[in-house]
Structure 1
């Protein structure tokens, strides 16, 4: 082999080596917790896991879970009216009892509802719009998390306090709806706090003030306090959601879509969904 050939081979392989090093470096810093219940580099996780962070959530200005999770591979959220939805994680779109018992919805690794008390609209009570990131495990997760994680699980991670004060408020207004998304994060003497708020109201184009139909309103909040004392770290969270939703029914009839005037009629004015949830946990970590 001539010296020229050896020289050309060296020039060819050096760029490939540098490219692989840069590609690996970009992935090493991404940490996930849902797959093994511990902070793990995503390159070392054997399961099928993907995540979406708060920067991307804020960039797309998401107002419901489907706009967030449908950006992930093998995940599809079929969004209905208001907060109604059906979930698919590497599976068919399941409804009824199959949908309620096949997917596990978590917040910092803690189920939103106890096994056996599932909800086909399980993300209705999540704080996914104001969380730090959301991780999805595609495929069975019952070995680590127990019942309901048959086809997969969705874990919303709460944000940790920032080292410097950050105050952000985002608003969106129109003649039919408004959205307020605010957050505060900052340090304390031995830790830090986070306070996030999400408030959305949507009256729809056919809203009737006399009977308050239809109407959609939801509020979500998150409070997190981190503190360190000696060898112990303490984490306290308090989250809550409130939903007030009056829903329109379906108009029925042969070629009813040709009648534009009937689009403003609500044949099912008594339909509604009112629910609220409050959850909290206190964690002690000994270093």
Structure 2
């Protein structure tokens, strides 16, 4: 731990003490979440590592990019890319690499946005987070209701089927425009539903950048005889011109370089469609049956500006599956659920390069124009699970779960096997960079237990101890998108062992949660110094997370989320000729936090001053290069004009600080950055009817 980080960490117990002294002796209204059990459940009935961003927080933040909302959750280290792109991270370093996105499961109303073997680091832009009534985050392992990819965290974007009809228009810096509409229909006591539409356009603050995006969602509820029926669908489209990295030490601080774009031809176009129908029925003996079939389709084209030669990738996936559960209320103190989930999916990937690679003789010879990859993978996933909620005694509760999951890939290479050019000719310098394995089949099976013990120490205090195993299957790109002399990737599942202890303290005016955790990731998949995809590595993580909210009086309130974490390479691993065992994992800030002070002088007016902090972090596994971190100041205000009209302003990066949303280091470019947005003003007007 660095001395400055250690000093900051000592402020956390002080804040907790202040919260205890200020709290009142009455219970607050409890939030609910669906991410743990697929039905709305009070947080007290769920594992303690679940956080909820409610409608009020989401409306206040009014996120243009999902990272702006997720920064309100402790332990979440998502980084913003250009446009709508992002890199994930929950209780981990920021995740990069071919299949690292498989560590975080992204859901919309409980349905995975991508198939288990076909994740994408940017997949949150396929959710309709702009219209969410609630965003739920699991920090660490999820319950037994979810399997592969829910290894280090899960995010569920939930859209409500009921609510006030509204239309909003928003204008902002760099020709930003956004329109949102949420229109309901029917009778809330019978058949009803809601339509959501979001249309956004951003001119971008960097040259040749910006995007146009459209999202449409439906939520519908009714009854069909004895069955309760819910229908959901979301369609999205993104047309983005992408600005790449700025290159050079501290280039993000250069006024000219930070607004430039070395990759003016880069773009990303994506479309997605998901639909699901949920059927639930109350059976005899306090049992409930729930079945949810779903369909999924995604298609994406983008220029890989971050690779030599700027190859084009076209990927597509389609699939269908189901979730099912049988839940029984055995008594007031005992509830159990069992279920069987399944999915059949198919993914395709094509990587082609139109023109010769520029650069050194080695790059020009080993990365030819033409087809690099062209393959299809058919997947089958089956999961069997059980979950137990047992109130053992007045103050003691046990949550337990077990999940058995099977995953199979059938891979079909539609190009030439090996590391040749697409015409079969050999590359110089020992062969082409990209290697295409021959057709093959891979399968994986894993048994994953979960256990949490909760102790209700008083009306206000709850303590917990949790142990869990989580996992993810290797992603298709890790198995079949090989390089250099590697012809087969013999990979097994990545696993993580979790232990955490924590406490929640809750009154009407104060809500506090403190968690200490330790995670060991085993059989981590990396690309080694020979550019082979190999497993067998380990990463150790320890951390402390704090969430604290206090209402001092009707005018003033404060909210703090903060996390201290240390992630290190725990096994012998070479980067070049250096053993990096014991080094900190790159792109893993030790300290992150968000402090919001709210002043509401009247019921119609509210202002929010937000302080965001990201500490320094290393850019490379050797820990030789570093980003110094940053602290940002944001201001927001809202005014309820009357019962139907409201207006709001947001001034982000109030001090116009030069910072980097993402910092990185490669041997080809040295330091490179995604510059953060300059001072930006946004205004919105909302009409409720």
Equivalence map 1:1-287=2 (5 Å): 19-20=24-25, 22-23=26-27, 26-28=28-30, 30-141=31-142, 143-162=144-163, 166-174=164-172, 176-188=175-187, 190-205=190-205, 213-252=208-247, 265-287=260-282
Secondary structure at 1:83's aligned position in 2?
A: coil
Secondary structure at 1:34's aligned position in 2?
A: coil
Deviation at 1:186?
Answer: 3.5
CA distance 1:228–1:254, shift in 2 (3 Å): closer
Deviation at 1:251?
Answer: 4.3
CA distance in 2, matches of 1:127, 1:115: 20
Structure 1 window deviating more from structure 2 (123-132 vs 145-154): it is 123-132
Secondary structure at 2:83's aligned position in 1?
A: coil
Deviation at 1:136?
Answer: 0.8
CA distance 1:193–1:274, shift in 2 (3 Å): same
Is residue 196–residue 217 contact of structure 2 (8 Å, CA) maintained in 1?
yes
Deviation at 1:60?
Answer: 1.7
Is residue 243–residue 264 contact of structure 2 (8 Å, CA) maintained in 1?
yes
CA distance 1:256–1:74, shift in 2 (3 Å): closer
Deviation at 1:113?
Answer: 0.9
Q: Deviations over 1:46-92 (max 9, x none)?
A: 33101112232112221111111110121121111112211221122
Q: How many residues align?
A: 259
Secondary structure at 2:57's aligned position in 1?
A: helix
Is residue 99–residue 119 contact of structure 2 (8 Å, CA) maintained in 1?
no
Q: Deviations over 1:22-58 (max 9, x none)?
A: 22xx244x22221233332112323310111223211
Deviation at 1:147?
Answer: 0.5
Is residue 27–residue 42 contact of structure 1 (8 Å, CA) maintained in 2?
no
CA distance in 2, matches of 1:66, 1:223: 24
Is residue 142–residue 150 contact of structure 1 (8 Å, CA) maintained in 2?
no
Q: Deviations over 1:192-229 (max 9, x none)?
A: 1111111211112456xxxxx32211111211111123
CA distance 1:203–1:48, shift in 2 (3 Å): same
Higher helix share: 1
CA distance in 2, matches of 1:59, 1:75: 19
CA distance in 1, matches of 2:80, 2:182: 26
Larger radius of gyration: 2
| Structure 2 counterpart of 1:210 | none
Structure 1 window deviating more from structure 2 (35-44 vs 50-59): it is 35-44
List alignment gaps of at least 5 residues for structure 2. 1-20, 283-689
Secondary structure at 1:145's aligned position in 2?
A: coil
CA distance 1:42–1:182, shift in 2 (3 Å): same
Secondary structure at 1:96's aligned position in 2?
A: coil
CA distance 1:173–1:281, shift in 2 (3 Å): same
Secondary structure at 1:37's aligned position in 2?
A: coil
CA distance 1:77–1:250, shift in 2 (3 Å): closer
Is residue 79–residue 87 contact of structure 2 (8 Å, CA) maintained in 1?
yes
CA distance in 1, matches of 2:216, 2:258: 35
Structure 1 window deviating more from structure 2 (85-94 vs 249-258): it is 249-258
CA distance in 2, matches of 1:214, 1:41: 43
Secondary structure at 2:151's aligned position in 1?
A: coil
Secondary structure at 2:38's aligned position in 1?
A: coil
CA distance 1:198–1:152, shift in 2 (3 Å): same
Q: Which aligned runs of 4 or more in structure 1 are off by greater than 6 angstroms?
A: 254-259
Is residue 193–residue 220 contact of structure 2 (8 Å, CA) maintained in 1?
yes
Secondary structure at 2:98's aligned position in 1?
A: helix
| Structure 2 counterpart of 1:6 | none
Is residue 100–residue 122 contact of structure 1 (8 Å, CA) maintained in 2?
no
CA distance in 1, matches of 2:42, 2:253: 56
CA distance in 2, matches of 1:107, 1:254: 39
CA distance in 2, matches of 1:201, 1:139: 34
CA distance 1:187–1:151, shift in 2 (3 Å): same
Deviation at 1:185?
Answer: 2.0
CA distance in 2, matches of 1:92, 1:43: 29
CA distance in 1, matches of 2:166, 2:118: 36
| Structure 2 counterpart of 1:11 | none
| Structure 2 counterpart of 1:10 | none
Deviation at 1:115?
Answer: 0.7
TM-score where L is the length of structure 1: 0.81
